[in-house]
Every structure is written in C-alpha cells, then in structure tokens.
Amino acid sequence: MKRLCFSFSLYAIFAILLVASMFPTSATAQATFTAQVRGVVQDTSKAVVPRATVTITNDGTQVPEKTTTDDLGRYIFNGLAPASYTVKVEVSGFKTVVRSNVVLRVGQQIDLDFTLELGEITSTVEVTAESTLLNSVSGALGTEVTNRYIIDMPLAGRGITELAYLAPGTTEVPGMGISMLGGTTFTSNGQRYGTAEFRADGALTSSPEGGEGGNTTVKYQPLIENVQEFKLQNNNFSAEFGNNGGTVVNIVTKSGTNEFHGSGWYFFQRPQFDANSFFANRDGESKGDYVHDQYGASVGGPIIKRKTFFFTDFEKTRDRSPNLKVSTVPTDLQKAGDFSQTFNADGTLQQIFNPNLGHYDANGNWIREPFSGNRIPPELLDPVAIKIMNLYPAPTQAGDPITGRNNFTKNVIGSSPGYHYDFKIDHVFTDKSRAFVRYGIIHYLDDQPAGSSVIQGSTTDRTNIHNAVISYDWTPSPSILWTSRLGVDRFHEQRILQDFDAGSVGLPPILGENSGLKRLPAFEFDGYQSIVGSSCADTVEAHTQWMYSSSLSKVIRGHNLKFGGEQRQFLNNFWQPCDPNGAFFFGRGETVQDPFNPNNSQGNAIASLLAGWPNDASMGTTPPTSNKSKDTGFFIQDDWKLTKRLTLNIGLRYEWSTPYTERFNRLSWSDFSGDSGIDVPGLGRIHGVNRLADSEQRTISSDRNNFGPRLGFAFRLNEKTVLRGGGGVYYGFNPHTNFQYVSPAWVRPVNFVFSKDGGVSRFATLSNPLPNGLGPPPGPKYGLLDRWGFSNSNNLSDTFRNAEIYQWSLGIQRELPGNVLIDVNYSANHSTHLPDNDDLARNKNFVSREDREKWGSRGLNEQIPNPFQYLFQGPDAIFNEPTSLYNDPTLRRQLLLRPFPQFSGSFRGSPAFDAIVNYHSLQVRFEKRYSYGLNFTGQYTFSKLIDTSSEGLNAWIGDIWAGQTQDPTNRKAEKSVGSSDTPQRLAFAVSYDLPVGRAKRFGNNMNRVADAIVGGWKINSFVTFQSGNPISVSMGDFSRLANGRQRPNVSGDPRGVDIKAVVDGRGDPKFNFFNVSAFSDPGDQIPGNAPRYFSKLRTDGINNMNTSIFKSFTFREGMYLQLRAEFFNFTNTPRFGRPGEAFGSDEFGKINSQINSPRSGQMGLRFVF
C-alpha cells in the first residue's frame, strides 16, 4: 500500500478529537473491556413500545441502572462490567418482563430484545436467558477464556496466560516449550513473538522488553484467583487498539460483590510426584528434588452495600528447582595438552597444529606445523590457560564412545521465594458515575547458577513489580459514556553476579579498570562447556510506563460511535555492563593447519586455549542510561447496525511514536551519507558520520504516516449462523520507543587483537591482552568523527519506520445442538517493513561479494599500507586512541575495501526495516457451554508462514538466533519458511463432572456418607498437539564469509533419520538427524545454496497433556472444599531439542537436550466460600 503524507488538516482533526475526549461535555468511547447491552422493546403485534423503563441489575453487587426506551422503542446500557445481570422491563398497560442470567463477557456487545404482553404492570413474566454463543455484532476474531477454565485447568505455576494458546493462530516461540511465563513470548497469527499487547482492567501490563523497544513483555500478571476472565483478539479488532503486532489480550480482574466471597489455597509439588528427564535417565543421573509451595487467600465483599466494594488477595511462593546440565568438559589428558585420544565423530584423530610455528609453502600459503604426537609440550602451555583449566570439574561419565562428548552431567539447584498482593476498590458515586482503583505488587528473589555455567558463580536477582490503575466512568445520558483511565506499570530489578578475582588465574587488573567490577571474564568454547563468569549478568533496571486514555461513546440511532485517545510514556533507567571484564572465544580454527582454509576435521577449541590463541575477544564498559519516550494514538470507531441482521464495524486510527531521548544527551545516530570533511589519500572524501545529540536535536525524527483504517462486518444468515469478516491496517511496536544503551561515544568497547594478520603471527597474549593500554571513553570530543578506528555499533539511524501489518479474515459461525459453537475462518496477514535486528542486517559496512570472491580469506586478511595512520600518529593526528588498529602502518585489506573504511568493523544503525511476512491459515475454534457436566473449548490451525527474517529485537528468546543473514548484498535469498512456521496445531481444554453422587444421574438418592466418597469428582485436561518448527543449518566456521553467516550447499534430500532414532542412537554416526552426504562446503567466501530455514527439516513437535482430578466436598451452597491432583506432561512424553545445526562440527545432527519438562505432579487444597 502506498504511504501518503497527509495535510495539516488531518492532524488538526485528531488534535480536536483528543481535546474533545478529555472533557465530559463531548460525545466519547466505550471502555476497552466493558460490555454493552442494547435492544428494542415491542408488543406482541411488533409495534415498538416507547417510554418503557428498563432496569439492569448486577447480580453480584445488586447495583441497578435504569434507562427509558426512545420513540423507536430502543434502549442501551454502556460500560457494563463483565458479570451476570438481570434485566427488567416495565411500562403501564403491559406485564412486567424480568430476564435473569444475562451473562456478559469481556468487551461483548449483545442485542437483547423484549416482547411485552398486555396486562397489569404488577404481573411479572420471568424468563431465564440463554446467552448466545454467536457474535453477530463484530467481524473481529477473538477467543474468550472464562473463569471456569481459568480455575479448573491444570496450569503450571497457576499462570493464566498459558490458556491463550486456546486461541486459533497462537503458537509457541521455537525452543520455548508451551510455557508462557514471559507473557508475550508467543507468536500469534504469523506475527513476531513479543509484539502482543496485554491489558488488565483496561490498563497496560505489557511494556517494552527490558527497555529495548520493538519488543513487549509482561511483568505483572494478576493471580489466577483474581482473574474473572480474559479475551485474546488477533485479527480485525477495533481501531481503539493499536501500537502492537496485531494481538490484544484483555484481562478482567474480580470485584467485590454485595456478599462476602473468597477462597484459600495451598498447592505443592514434591519430587515424589515427578518423573525423571529422558537424558538423566539415559545417563544414570537421579532426578532433581524439585520443591514448589504456593499458598494464599482472597476475599471480596461490600464496604458499603450497593455502593462500595473491595477485593483483595495475597499469595506466597517458594521454589527449589533443579536444572540438569548435560555438557562436555575437557578430560584430564586434554587439560595437560594431550589430544592423542581426541577423535572426530567418524573416528579419525582430531589433529592439532601449532599456531606459533609455521612456514609459507610454494604457493605462499601459511602452513602451521603439527604438534608432535598430537600433544602440546608443557613449555608451550599458556600459564593463564592452565589456571582456567583448573576451574573445570572432572567428567562425571565416559560420554560418547568415540568423541567423548556429553561427559558431564550435574543437577544445579536454584531457589525463588516471592509474594504477590492485590487490592481493588469499586465505588458507585451516583447512578451516572462510578470509579475503581486497583493496585498490585509482585516481589521475588531468584538465586540461580550464572547463565549456562557449571563452573563459576551464581546470581542473586531481586525484583519488584508494581501495577496500578484508576478508572472513572460518567454516563450523562443512556446514550453517552465517558471513560477516563490512568495506569502505571513499574518494574525494578537488581541482578548481581558473584565476585571473582580474575588475578587469581593470571589475568591483568586492566580488565576491570573501567567497570570497577570484580568478575571472571567469559570463556566460551566451540564444542565444550563455556566458563561464563560475566557476560551480561549484572543488571540494574528501573522501568516505568505511564498510560492515560480518555474515550467517549455516543449512540445515534443505529450508530455506536466511539472516539478517543491514549498516550504512553516510558521512563527507563538501565545499567547492564556486558562483558565488563572481557569475553574470550576459542574455536578450532586457531589450531588447524591452514588458518585461511580450515579443515573441519582438524583443530580443537581447548587446544586453542592452551596455546593462548582466542579467535575473538572483546570487552564492554557501558555506563548507566536514563531514557524517555512517548507513544500517542487517536481513534474513531463506528459500529453501525445497518439492519437487524447486518452490522458494519468502521474505524480509523492514527498513531505515532516519539523516539527516545536520554537525560544527559548521550545519544547518537548513524548518518550513512554525512560528509566527514576529511580527505584520505587514495580514498578521497570520507562519508558516513556519527551524529551526536545536542540541545538543538536530541533525537531522530518520528514516523508520522501511521493511519490505520479498519473495516469489518457481521451478517446473521439465520438464528444459528453468522457470516463475519473484515480487514485492517495496523502498525507495529516502534523499535525506537526505548533502548537501554547510550551512544558508543560514551562506551569503551574493546576488541582485543591477538593477531593482526589473520593468525600468522601473534600480537597479544592472555596475560597481556592490551599491550597498548586502555583509555577512557572519548565522549563528544571527536564530534562527527566519533568511533573512527573502531567499530561503530550505533543502534539508531534516521532511516526507520513502523512495521505495517495488513490483516484480513472471512469466516462463518454456526451454533449446533448441545450448546456447541463452531467458528471457521480464513485468517491472513501481509506485513512489511518489519525490523530485522540481525547485526548483519543493521550493518552497512560490508565487503562486496565481488571483492570477497576476488580476494578470498587470505587476500582479505593480507596487510597493506594504512592510509589513516597520519590521523592517529604524528603531528597532524586527530585521534588519541592507543587501542585502535589504525595506529599501525598496515591494515588488513578487507578494512579498506569496505564502504566506510574509517571504521574497523561494523557501521551499524537502526534495524533494517525490510523484513516481509506472509501468513495464511485455516482456523477452527470450537466451544461447548457447560451442560450435563461437560464443557470444552479449543482450536485447530492449519497454516503457512513465509518471511525474509524471523528476528525481532532481543532475539535470544527460544532459537530465533538461528537463520541469520548469509549475504547482506542478496536479501532476496533470505526468503524461506519462517522460524515459527507451524503447519498444524490442535489445542483444547475439557472438563467433565462425573455423573455420580447426590443430585446426579447415577446415585441421585445415595446417602451423604456414600456421596462423600463417590460423589463430587471432576476430571480436567488441557491437550496440545503441534508440528515441529523449521531448522536452519549453517557452517560451523563463520569466518569463511566476511560479512555473513555462511550456509552450506545442499543437494538431494537433507533428511536423515527420525528424531527418536537420533536420540536412541546415542551418538552413533549412522543415526544422524541430517543426511550428511546431502551437505557440502561451498568454499571460501562463497554463499551456500541452503535456505535460511528448511521446510522439510523440523524439530520435535508438541504432544502434551496436562490432566487434573478434583474431589469436592460441599458444605452448603457456595461453600465447598476441593482436593486436587494435577499432572503436567501426564504421559511423560519428552520433546527433544534442536539438533546441532553447525555443519562440520561434532554436534552436527546430534540431539542432546529435552526442552519440555518431564511429568510433574502437583497436589492442592482449595476452599471456596
């Protein structure tokens, strides 16, 4: 769709709408989660009845609302809380009609017509309503999850959002399992993970993830005992919602009623109820002693009857959780430098070569000498490496019979105590105005092992979460409703890593000079367990989100008009010094024979460490940051009841984001065409500058063209069938709403240089990794020339736009006998300009394909004269940067072949806003309302997802880091099935009251003693079946392609054997997930032809059943005691992790992990009154 620049007049119109929505004298919008009842009153001859009094009464609070029918017999009630109601219609000359059990759900609009009979007004006709399952007023696709499922389903951790998977189109993030504890870490309708919007009582509970915009997370979730119901909408929803990835979840919490009600509960898990994991069983490891206790109480009732009500709850949790680690650690022989017993998967010796000794052959190739006997002599062992080796534990088992991999298992125990508290007060001021206030706090302490380390350190994580909302409704007349709402969401976290004296292993104190932290640097190895002592563990974050909305609705004949606005303000204070003491990476390439043409059967990462040769190393010194940004949106919506059978939903939304500013102006953005004013000999005028924020321009410009029209319809074909459909334009969450890092000018990222010539000679050592010292960050002193001589890792540039999402759907609903609904829909979307956060897509400083193929790795790493040296050394020097490579007389050729040669690495900016997603699906939703003891709901989705990038921001969630860009110069080659492509998914929840006991089908007249034993039993299940997700295959050595993540060539069928056979094969080469012979090395600096993701190669799917059984003891109506036994993964079916996806590595095609939990049991006691 062509984007248009609209004139000032449209901006003025929306400004007027905003002002109008702030004052009750204007005409405004229905609240986000409340319901509406409207209808026509007529007599038996079909003549309308004007001036009839209609009263609707909340059955819980007994608070009534009254209105009078107009001249056409119409009435309407707006802003009704989801609950059960009784509606009464009375007028002189007719019998009074009372309709009870009118149940309203989240955001529901229902038509409720009345027919009056002639007679005395004192005569009453009572009718019990059977609310329809059909949606005949909206084309939006949505799934309501009622309190019955929320309370009865077996849910791990008793968190409600796992039930969102009952909505068609929702799937897990690859690698995450079916848990949803992160709130928005799921995909919906083909959209990116982490882009859904969550609200509780109309106020936002989702916010930018960790302060990094473009991604949302949910920190606050109401307790399960506090949730009345929720609704997920993921296509064609109202213009009232926006600034998200096309999915909205509305949660409604409980309110007090006119009588006191409450509950108390105690749930516990013990190891006696649990099964062992697959690999622990296989390796003879005992299961961990998992302990979980969860107990609390809730109570609600009147403060002043029919006037003021309260509801409050409190819960404490205690977790002691084992984490089974299966990994590979060096053997005693390897620690001593002896690799004579180290073999590849095919049984050949993994030969190692001396990186410090070699010669040039006749063709000018640098060839290293082999270590005699495949042993590193003791005098050549690096002294730091020897001490690092001593940090490793001894193997606990033999491991693979050939390679020795997976020779270490350990159950690591973490603990997580916490508490959760909420209260809510509702108050009715008059029959025209009411308000509520809700506040919740969550606190927990998390003591866990540090990252993936089995070696060193633990983290202590203290977290406090606050969420509050104040809401006010005013109804000056039955057809007008004004709603105003203020919400705040606050998250504070302090995560501290255990101290470690890096000097004890021989590392110099300069590594902690800038950070002031005492940490062990991260040591990571290809094929071995990493020693992760720091990475990004230390974090202090305080993130606050304010939200204000005001909206108004006005009913004019058949039009239900709504308009209003919302503004969100993000305040983010963040400090996360990633790798403050350094991170060292060791691969096989440093101990292969030819460093420019590595052999996949040679080299060993531990040998590279012992020789003192990392293949990469870096260090960061990120200061704290303090950011602020805003999102603003306005909407107008008309739900137009054109005829009794046809309703149109017409809307328009306009929104924009104000990119963030930093309190101390420590921001910058990349200007790829900016003139530096510097001419360099042989290169001419240098373009590409780093613009720093100042008092005149503190941030980049906003994307102001985000107009989103919406159109939907619902047409009632007959009393049991509705045809629905529609489409709309949506704009995704802005990646520049917030970010947690300051400009690189105030950061001192250090790339250690151990070799300046691609591995021929060594420059630095582990004992002295910074021979030239380390200076402080330069700040703004270099101006436009900031970052010359270093990588420019900016996260911003002035070339961005919001993602555009075009959604449409068409479907039919049919109500079947037995209170059953079938809802079948074709649902699709086409999304453009999605952010591609792959570093390779952000980077504009890459060597052209022609130069890569012309020079090859050897030529690209050849040293040539440095034309920039005069800017770093001598009388005309501009820069004083002792750690920069540009001080040297020569540079590697590839640095000068890049379009921005002034930077030694990447020249990054905003994510590339060029990713495309196409999603098509057949979605079936089914539901049976409770009758004869049975109720169920669920969904089946058949879909196809194709995209050019599957990464959002913070893409380490799940396995989405796989499938990165191979060749930035050929983005079209990235098109493939998406990482979240899920051809089929079936999920359903079912509950059944066994028909045995008093007042039941069997044993209706049994005595109370027998009933206490055999009566009151209930069975519940939540079942999920899902296809596996696509797999990506890459080359194990990324250095073979200068600018990308090289993939292999593939020919023929890449499939090997079934996942179960791979696991049962225990490393036998013939049991490989891949057909290894179908893959081949494409060659140095040549992109492979393998797709980004394989449609035919998929991970293990989901086959999961959570089951519970209840026994209830009823004391009187509304008071009972419930004993519960709940089991998760009841069949104990393992779901295996992804196979090794790096072609050429020992792990290629091997499966070593189980990503779901083995069967676990939970016992519970719940008392309700």
Which CATH architecture describes the domain 31-128? Sandwich (2.60)
Res. 618: pLDDT tops 70: yes
Which H helix or E strand runs over 147?
A: helix 147-152
Check if the beta carbon of residue 246 is closer than 8 Å to that of residue 188.
yes
Cα separation, 763 vs 771, in Å, equals 8
Length of the chain: 1169
Higher pLDDT, 1064 or 1116: 1116
Res. 382: pLDDT tops 60: yes
Higher pLDDT, 1115 or 122: 1115
* Residues 102-159: tens digit of each pLDDT: 999 988 888 899 999 998 888 888 888 677 789 988 999 989 999 999 999 999 888 8
Q: Which of 356-365, 548-557, 929-938, 1054-1063 has the lowest mean pLDDT?
A: 1054-1063
Res. 822: pLDDT tops 70: yes
> Parallel, antiparallel, or unpaired: how do β-strands 522-525 and 583-586 relate?
parallel
Q: If pLDDT is split at 50, 70 and 90, which confidence band does 738 have?
A: low
User: Which is nearest to 233 in space by CA: 251, 218, 248, 216?
Assistant: 248
Q: Which of 45-59, 141-155, 524-538, 813-827 has the lowest mean pLDDT?
A: 524-538
> Parallel, antiparallel, or unpaired: how do β-strands 1094-1098 and 261-269 relate?
unpaired
First-to-last alpha carbon distance for the chain, in angstroms, is 57
Instruction: Kindly give, in sequence order, each residue whose CB lies less than 8 Å from that of residue 27, ignoring residues fewer than 6 positions away.
Output: 20, 480, 552, 554, 561
At 1141 the pLDDT is: 86
> Parallel, antiparallel, or unpaired: how do β-strands 291-304 and 261-269 relate?
antiparallel
Strands of 416-537 (E only): list them. Answer: 418-430, 433-449, 458-477, 480-497, 522-525, 528-531
pLDDT average, residue stretch 1067-1071? 60
Ranges for all domains in the chain classified under CATH 2.60.40.1120: 31-128
pLDDT average, residue stretch 802-818? 94
Q: How far is CA 1104 from CA 161, 188, 849, 868, 1099, in A?
A: 17, 20, 47, 61, 15
* Residues 865-887: tens digit of each pLDDT: 999 999 999 998 999 988 888 99
User: Which is nearest to 41 in space by CA: 109, 102, 113, 90?
Assistant: 113
Check if the beta carbon of residue 139 is closer than 8 Å to that of residue 724.
yes
**Angle at CA 993, nearest 5°, toward 992 and 995?**
120
Q: If pLDDT is split at 50, 70 and 90, which confidence band does 534 have?
A: low
Using only C-alpha atoms, the chain has a radius of gyration, in whole angstroms, of 32
pLDDT average, residue stretch 529-547? 82
Res. 806: pLDDT tops 90: yes
Q: How far is CA 769 from CA 520, 608, 895, in A?
A: 15, 15, 22
Averaged pLDDT of the chain: 86
Cα separation, 316 vs 295, in Å, equals 6
At 574 the pLDDT is: 86
At 18 the pLDDT is: 42
Res. 998: pLDDT tops 90: no
Res. 995: pLDDT tops 50: yes
Cα separation, 558 vs 649, in Å, equals 12
Q: What is the DSSP letter of 517?
A: -
At 1070 the pLDDT is: 58
User: Which is nearest to 483 in space by CA: 551, 433, 567, 554?
Assistant: 551
Check if the beta carbon of residue 491 is closer than 8 Å to that of residue 556.
no
Q: How far is CA 176 from CA 173, 191, 394, 863, 1095, in A?
A: 5, 16, 31, 45, 19
Q: If pLDDT is split at 50, 70 and 90, which confidence band does 760 have?
A: confident
Res. 856: pLDDT tops 70: yes
User: Which is nearest to 560 in space by CA: 915, 1134, 112, 76?
Assistant: 76
Res. 203: pLDDT tops 50: yes
Res. 531: pLDDT tops 90: no
At 1085 the pLDDT is: 84
* Residues 1021-1061: tens digit of each pLDDT: 999 999 999 999 988 766 677 777 889 999 989 888 777 77
DSSP state letters, 658-719: EEEEETT---EEEEEEEEEEEEETTTEEEEEEEEEP-SS--SPPP----EEEEEEEEEEEET
Phi-psi region of 1149 (alpha: psi -120 to 50; beta: other; left: phi over 0): left
Res. 89: pLDDT tops 90: yes
Q: Which of 765-774, 949-958, 973-982, 987-996 has the lowest mean pLDDT?
A: 949-958
Q: If pLDDT is split at 50, 70 and 90, which confidence band does 842 have?
A: confident
pLDDT average, residue stretch 643-667? 89
pLDDT average, residue stretch 556-581? 89
* Residues 393-407: tens digit of each pLDDT: 899 998 889 999 889
At 953 the pLDDT is: 59
